[in-house]
Amino acid sequence: MHNFEKLKIWQKAMEIATEVYEISLLLPKDEKYNLIHQIKKCAVSIPSNIAEGAGRNHNKEFIQFLGIANGSTFELITQLILAKRLNLIDQEQVQKIIDKLIEVSNMNFAFQKSLNK
């Protein structure tokens, strides 16, 4: 069992989730139940799955939840790219978050490798 709050990957994912919630306020209100809901759901899913995996008894289970978190990371990147293509969010703001998501994904893959050893 790991203390998820001390994991850098969880801390970074929480920062991203906070930023996504802030940026979602800039989206049009008519996207509240569509894209905004999906974006927020994915953003919360990343640190949540890291935390849930950390609470499991075996590294194999933890790795499974890290994989789910990584799936949510790529799903969120896709949704942010869509918002950018639809000109709903400023390109610069979106790219900063996407860059952080890529960093979290890289951290995730490296962490999974270390847990497999």
DSSP per residue over 44-108, as a string?
A: HHHHHHHHHHHTSSSHHHHHHHHHHHHHHHHHHHHHHHHHHHTTSS-HHHHHHHHHHHHHHHHHH
Q: What local confidence, expressed as pLDDT, does residue 9 receive?
A: 97
C-beta of residue 61 within 8 angstroms of C-beta of residue 15: no
Residues 6 or more apart in contact with residue 20 via CB below 8 angstroms = 39, 40, 43, 76, 97
Which amino acid type is present at position 24? S
Residues 6 or more apart in contact with residue 102 via CB below 8 angstroms = 77
Q: What is the pTM of this model?
A: 0.94
Cα 92 from Cα 100, distance rounded (Å): 13
Q: What local confidence, expressed as pLDDT, does residue 117 receive?
A: 80
Number of domains in the chain: 1
Q: What local confidence, expressed as pLDDT, does residue 2 receive?
A: 81
pLDDT 10s digits, 56-101: 999 999 999 999 999 999 999 999 999 999 999 988 989 999 999 9
pLDDT 10s digits, 93-113: 899 999 999 999 999 999 999
Q: For residue 38, give the CATH number of its domain.
A: 1.20.1440.60
Q: What local confidence, expressed as pLDDT, does residue 31 receive?
A: 83
Domain assignment of residue 97, given as a range: 4-116
pLDDT 10s digits, 20-47: 999 999 898 888 779 999 999 999 999 9
**The two three-digit tokens of residue 23, written as one number:** 């940026």
Q: What local confidence, expressed as pLDDT, does residue 108 receive?
A: 97
Q: What local confidence, expressed as pLDDT, does residue 114 receive?
A: 94
